[in-house]
Structure 1
Amino acid sequence: MKQNDENDILAQEAHLAQLPLPVGRRDVLKSVAAGIALMGIGVPPVLAQQKTLRFLNAEPGRDSVRALRVAAAEYEKKFGIKVVIDTVPPDDAYNKIQTAIAAGASYDIGTLAFAGHVLLLAEAGKLVPLTKLVNRHKWGPNILFPIKGETYWYPYDYNFCWMYYRKDLYQQKGLKVPTTWDQMADNCKALTEGGKFGVGHPVGSNAATQWMSIGYMWADGVRMLDKNFKLIIDNAEMKPKVIRYLDFMKRLSPSMPSGMTQALFGTVLGQYSGGQIAHAPYAGRLMEVIEDKAPDLVAKTGFFMYPDSAGKASAVNHGYDGWILLNTPMRDESLKFMEWFIDNHYINFLHSAPLHFQPPRLDVYDDIRWRAHPLIEKHADLVEFMKSILTRKDVIIRSIDTEGPIIDLRPPKMFETFAICEAIQNVLYKDMPSAEAVDIMSAKYRTVL
């Protein structure tokens, strides 16, 4: 992801990276109900004369918190406006924002990692449009999520998921970077030996699976919804593709460690940094982790996008994070702060997770200040790969929660069913025919559509 960027992202990952890390998608169904209730709440205003801005940050990494606090201190020194930074885990951010609004003590600025939450708040009249601020720059694809012609958030990063692999093991076995599912499965099989495994894909009913394990399906051209938000995953065109994907996952399963139904984000980081698996799905965070915890693997690690079945396309799973401005009596001051922060401290903030916070703004990739970070300089090949995801026309960027022609609450509801996860489990562990698994999955999606 996100985002950014999963319900419980990890004590494991935090332990690996020595800092609390962001998580991904939220408890959407509960949030939808709470958000609808929020729209009817009459909120007493905060005193307009107050000279304090309240900023709810959902990036709890210590370097990210430090970057925001340094910016806040400088702003107060320059302009006499105090900016209080409150930090919560990403999964708590939306509920914290709602609670504050309902109590009549709304935050002025907030962090969200789910476009559905932005939609709920915007439709409730709780957000300030950021269209003019956003329009100052050019952006990568599928990141602004406009609502009736206005943009209500400022995206600060992508959290795409792609594949990492052990270049040294490839060389030893004479393998090539896979461009088809057959090649991927063969490579994973060849690297499964001696207590080591070819790949780690979560397959439990959780957000990790939906971020880290379905990119192959997107690469093969699967779409879940049409332009009218009608479910098409089981129609004559899509169903054979989904069947092919589920069959492929079954073929991969012998090359995975045991216990992948319980695997979360940090599980895979630990498996890769510990040398247990030869392929790992992740975003830029993986490279940051091995730089810190397994530096011997840095030069041995390569990367590629999820391939399709025929070698014609490639994909990444979408993820993202962004800032919102709440419609409070301090909204003008909030906008002034955001304009100043973007001009003066945005790059400093990106540097707090230099490879994981992938810039969604295209101009940043050519900014010598951003490129001056040692890890960005060192991993110039990875940075160019990340940029190519945004600039190449043949790369597919999809996620369940962003399916459909515009941002809408129905895809997030689909996400929260974990129906695709259950389909994978039915095929891998219950030996269910893939066609039957697709039918069950589709019926479950229809219950929320």
Structure 2
Amino acid sequence: MRSQRRLAAVLLAAALAVTACGGDEGAAPAPTGKAELSFWGWDPNMDKVVAIWNAQNPDIQVTLTNPAGGDQLVNKMVTAHQAGNGPDIAKVEYQSLPALVSGGVVRDITEYTSDTVKDFDEPTLKATKFEGKVYGIPQDVAPLMLFYRTDLFQQYGLTVPKTWDEYKQTAQTLKQKAPNTFITNFDAADPGWFAGLAQQNGADWWSTSGTNWKVDINGEASKKVAAYWEDLVKAGVVDKGPSFSPQWNKQMNDGTLATWISGAWAPAQFAGIAPDTKGKWAVAPLPTWQAGDKATGIWGGSAITVTTDSKRPAEAAKFVSWLNTNAEAVTAQIKNINVYPASTSGRSLPILTQPPPFMPNQTDYYEVIKQSAPNARSFPMWGPNVTVTFASYTDSFGKAMQADSPFAGALDAMQNATVADMKKLGFTLN
């Protein structure tokens, strides 16, 4: 918690420096009347949830658009903010929130959410709080899980692996029995899953001592993870293609890939990725480095924020609170988006006794997620330039895959790019 407060102090000082230039002099009075709010997000079927709100709140209407997802949306938010025409509301992954706070893009909504935050435990809420101020309402928790094709595992006599050693053995057995099949792919285009794997092994990519920062992206914990996957790639048991590409979708659909290491949100994606595989997937805890360990990492998980460009922050915050705490709204998100709720009350909703529509055969799906969620480890803090780090991941690991060069070098490149950028931004590093 002390490191979280130190992070908050640094980020909020930067935020104040940014916002102080504009000041509040001559601010126009708050608008009244019907509120027309814009909402940027990428969840499939979120329009169905927004429709419930709009039907019940004729004086506060929300229009949903999907300009991009993840890091791309963050970049669009920054650009829109600089032009003064950002949305009222935006979905932001937890790792991106510190940079948006420091950039003055998202708003402190503490005054509007005093009752809302009571529905969240402190470990969940701390990802959206800095110096005790609330900058977003948590939407979901996304522990890394192992999704596997039950039909392929049965066909080839495979046992669901509980450790990474077992996962490697399973990959080798599968390749022997089905030479054209891979246990999974190594995604050099999306850093989120690799960050989650590093988290599971205890990596802390950023830390602080006072106002000084330390970056440890290429530390031993991360290099152990990288070396493990490098071995699988070189052995030919893991495919090299990026996730979410047309080729990957085809492989997921036709059984070329037997597992997918993904966040708890994966079932919402299967229909678009592998439409012919309904009922063929199951979820299990992520394999661990030591037998009996329960640790996992996190891939994604988001907060819903109100931006500093919004002229109707009170109304926007009202919608954000409703979206993530109202029983009808959270139930609709579980049904249509397959989120695992961040709110305490949301985790007890009756719908969680039902499996996701695409995985009707696994009736205990949410129970498995519930057991893994408390063991999900994120970094104690995210750095102020995550987009730079993630862009370097894509570049450096992509080059390593093409050149068949050591993955440790890719981590070194990420380290160097992150440190150089933080120094350029004026941060002091140990």
For Structure 1 versus Structure 2, the TM-score category normalised by the shorter chain is 0.7 to 0.9
Residues 208-357 of structure 1: pairs in structure 2 closer than 5 A? 208=190, 210-213=191-194, 215-228=196-209, 229-234=213-218, 238-239=219-220, 241-253=221-233, 254-256=235-237, 259-260=240-241, 262-264=242-244, 268-290=248-270, 294=275, 298-299=279-280, 301-308=282-289, 312-326=293-307, 328-340=310-322, 342-343=325-326, 345-351=328-334, 353-355=336-338, 357=339
Corresponding residue for residue 180 of structure 1: 163
Instruction: Flag the 1:82–1:423 CA change in 2: closer, same or farther, 3 A.
Output: closer
Instruction: Flag the 1:195–1:214 CA change in 2: closer, same or farther, 3 A.
Output: farther
Q: In structure 1, what residue type is equivalent to 2:316?
A: S
Q: In structure 2, what residue type is equivalent to 1:198?
A: F
Q: Secondary structure at the match of 2:185?
A: coil
Corresponding residue for residue 21 of structure 1: none
Corresponding residue for residue 90 of structure 1: 68
Alpha-carbon contact 1:290-1:298 (below 8 Å) kept: no
Deviation of 1:164 (Å): 1.4
1:158 maps to 2:141: yes
Corresponding residue for residue 199 of structure 1: 183
Alpha-carbon contact 2:205-2:215 (below 8 Å) kept: yes
Cα-to-partner distance string for 1:77-130 (whole Å, 9 max, x where unaligned): xxxx14141412334644555566556666443332354346534763851424
Instruction: Flag the 1:288–1:120 CA change in 2: closer, same or farther, 3 A.
Output: closer
Deviation of 1:417 (Å): 2.0
Cα-to-partner distance string for 1:342-361 (whole Å, 9 max, x where unaligned): 43642244145342x22112
Q: Which moved more, 1:144-153 or 1:91-100?
A: 91-100
Deviation of 1:338 (Å): 4.3
Instruction: Flag the 1:377–1:334 CA change in 2: closer, same or farther, 3 A.
Output: same
Alpha-carbon contact 2:90-2:304 (below 8 Å) kept: yes
Deviation of 1:371 (Å): 4.6
Deviation of 1:218 (Å): 3.2
What is the rounded CA distance, in whole Å, between the counterparts of 1:374 and 1:220 in structure 2?
29
1:422 to 396, 400, 403: 396
Deviation of 1:199 (Å): 2.2
Q: Which moved more, 1:297-306 or 1:36-45?
A: 36-45
Residues 16-27 of structure 1: pairs in structure 2 closer than 5 A? none
Q: In structure 2, what residue type is equivalent to 1:275?
A: G
Corresponding residue for residue 446 of structure 1: 419
Cα-to-partner distance string for 1:232-269 (whole Å, 9 max, x where unaligned): 355xxx43x44433332122113446552x44466545
Corresponding residue for residue 366 of structure 1: 348
Corresponding residue for residue 64 of structure 1: 46
Q: Secondary structure at the match of 1:307?
A: coil
What is the rounded CA distance, in whole Å, between the counterparts of 1:369 and 1:223 in structure 2?
35
Corresponding residue for residue 384 of structure 2: 409
What is the rounded CA distance, in whole Å, between the counterparts of 1:288 and 1:126 in structure 2?
27
Instruction: Flag the 1:431–1:95 CA change in 2: closer, same or farther, 3 A.
Output: closer
Alpha-carbon contact 1:133-1:339 (below 8 Å) kept: no
Instruction: Flag the 1:386–1:60 CA change in 2: closer, same or farther, 3 A.
Output: closer
Percent identical pairs in the alignment equals 17
What is the rounded CA distance, in whole Å, between the counterparts of 2:89 and 2:381 in structure 1?
24
Deviation of 1:230 (Å): 0.8
What is the rounded CA distance, in whole Å, between the counterparts of 1:378 and 1:171 in structure 2?
15
Alpha-carbon contact 1:199-1:255 (below 8 Å) kept: no
Structure 2, unmatched stretches of 5+, are 1-13, 423-430
Q: Secondary structure at the match of 2:135?
A: coil
Instruction: Flag the 1:45–1:105 CA change in 2: closer, same or farther, 3 A.
Output: farther
1:55 maps to 2:38: yes
Q: Secondary structure at the match of 2:345?
A: helix
Deviation of 1:364 (Å): 1.4
Deviation of 1:305 (Å): 0.8
Deviation of 1:54 (Å): 1.0
Q: In structure 1, what residue type is equivalent to 2:46?
A: S
Structure 1, unmatched stretches of 5+, are 1-32
What is the rounded CA distance, in whole Å, between the counterparts of 2:84 and 2:418 in structure 1?
37
What is the rounded CA distance, in whole Å, between the counterparts of 1:272 and 1:39 in structure 2?
50
- State the TM-score, normalized to the length of structure 1: 0.72
What is the rounded CA distance, in whole Å, between the counterparts of 2:76 and 2:23 in structure 1?
17
Q: In structure 2, what residue type is equivalent to 1:343?
A: N
